[in-house]
């Protein structure tokens, strides 16, 4: 196993049982064997997204499918709302603007979730609104945004709700069909515990109709091609990351067998455990309200220490954690818990963490 514990919001340490798959020879992607994996993966992904519809598998990073979530469902000049609660919400805004959408940017302070009344106001004042772009788990701050509340506003309208749940899926509650989501995206290097390189897109019936009308340019990310190839032959239109598709199969089996509810509960308990330990060390939690804290990572800060030097010291001792972004670049530490991490490992981490804090405070 790795000598470093990745306490990051992804990628995670890769369990030994998946690493073994990468040591095997490759298979061809136009064979019955590969098609069997694709078909099985689709059935598992439907269970994880909680949707009756197929889930496209694309060889890409998460940002690639953020772009796919924009270019496949809208047309030039379409008005969309970006619910912007951090770095990745802002990325959705940027992608929309680059493709010539008319983006209403609803921006909030770092550490704050969105206000539903603001979203209702935008919808009521913009009868020509075509879409809402939002982040489920905003990893730059550790916010969990309420997707269901927005879905309740859009589900009986023509507004397309596109949700980035790249770091949110599996470890936080998510219900694609039940919440009225139209497009949802996720990535392999997060709670799926395999390397970066695969991304997933769930599409509602409503979004599928919108795909037919979209005039934005696309080639590699044209989801109609992925749908056609999968419908016709359980294949991908272009060469996929074959080894990742095989590792994903093992990962999905494990996730479904363990039970998503059990994983969510386990992560919630681990998050709370870390929050308590951090507060005992004099750190504050960036996200003040419990229901807005993601189980993906814990954002903590303390003004009287330089967090960057502590992060460097932890890295040297075998623990990778991440700092903050934007105005919290100096003071924030983000402790990711997407991987297979035990309380014992967290205890060991906090022993080193406390030593480094004391060193800095001169104690």
Known binding site: residues?
A: 334
Q: By C-alpha distance, which of 60, 28, 29 is closest to 235?
A: 29
CA distance 292 to 12: 23
For 104-146, what is the HEC assignment?
EEEECCCCCCCCHHHHHHHHHHCCCEEEEEEECEECCCCEECC
Both tokens of 103, joined, read 């983006």
Q: 259: left (phi > 0), else alpha (psi -120 to 50), else beta? A: left
What residue numbers does the annotated binding site for substrate cover?
A: 334
CA distance 320 to 89: 24
Note if the bond before 11 is cis, omega within 30 degrees.
yes
Q: At what angle do helices 87-98 and 62-71 cross, to 10 degrees?
A: 40
The beta-strand segments (E) located in 292-361 are 297-301, 319-320, 322-323, 332-336
Reduced to 3 DSSP states, what percent helix, strand and coil does the chain have, rounded to the nearest 5? 45, 15, 40
Cα–Cα separations (whole angstroms), residue 320 to 13, 171, 272: 11, 20, 20
CA distance 234 to 236: 7
Check if the beta carbon of residue 136 is closer than 8 Å to that of residue 164.
yes
Count of CB atoms within 10 A of residue 280's CB?
10
Check if the beta carbon of residue 136 is closer than 8 Å to that of residue 282.
no
H and E: helices and strands count for the chain:
12, 15
Cα–Cα separations (whole angstroms), residue 88 to 165, 293, 314: 11, 16, 26
């Amino acid at each position: 196993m790795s000598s470093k514990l990745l306490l990051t919001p992804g990628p995670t340490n890769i369990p030994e049982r998946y690493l073994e798959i990468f040591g095997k020879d490759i298979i061809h992607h136009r064979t019955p064997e590969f098609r069997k994996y694709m078909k099985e993966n689709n059935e598992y992904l439907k269970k994880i997204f909680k949707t009756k519809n197929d889930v496209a598998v694309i060889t890409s990073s998460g940002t690639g499918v953020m772009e796919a979530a924009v270019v496949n469902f809208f047309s030039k000049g379409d008005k969309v709302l970006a619910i912007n609660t951090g770095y990745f919400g802002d990325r959705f805004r940027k992608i929309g603007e680059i493709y010539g959408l008319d983006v209403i940017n609803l921006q909030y302070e770092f550490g704050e979730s969105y206000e539903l009344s603001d979203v209702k106001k935008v919808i009521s004042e913009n009868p020509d609104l075509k879409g809402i772009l939002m982040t489920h788990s905003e990893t730059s701050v550790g916010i969990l945004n309420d997707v269901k509340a927005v879905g309740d506003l859009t589900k009986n309208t023509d507004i397309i709700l596109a949700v980035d749940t790249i770091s949110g899926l599996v470890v936080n509650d998510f219900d694609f069909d039940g919440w009225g989501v139209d497009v949802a995206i996720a990535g392999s290097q997060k709670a799926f515990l395999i390397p970066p390189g695969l991304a997933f897109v769930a599409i509602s019936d409503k979004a599928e109709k919108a795909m037919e009308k979209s005039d934005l340019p696309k080639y590699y990310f044209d989801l109609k091609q992925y749908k056609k190839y999968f419908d016709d032959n359980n294949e991908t239109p272009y060469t996929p990351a074959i080894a990742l598709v095989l590792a994903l199969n093992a990962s999905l089996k494990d996730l479904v067998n363990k039970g998503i509810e059990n994983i969510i509960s386990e992560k919630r308990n681990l998050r709370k455990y870390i929050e308590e330990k951090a507060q005992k060390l004099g750190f504050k939690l960036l996200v003040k309200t419990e229901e807005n804290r993601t189980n993906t990572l814990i954002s903590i800060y303390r003004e009287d220490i330089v967090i960057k030097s502590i992060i460097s010291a932890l890295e040297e001792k075998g623990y990778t954690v991440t700092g903050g972004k934007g105005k919290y670049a100096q003071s924030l530490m983000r402790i990711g818990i997407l991987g297979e991490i035990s309380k014992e490992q967290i205890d060991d981490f906090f022993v080193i963490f406390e030593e480094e804090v004391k060193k800095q405070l001169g104690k």
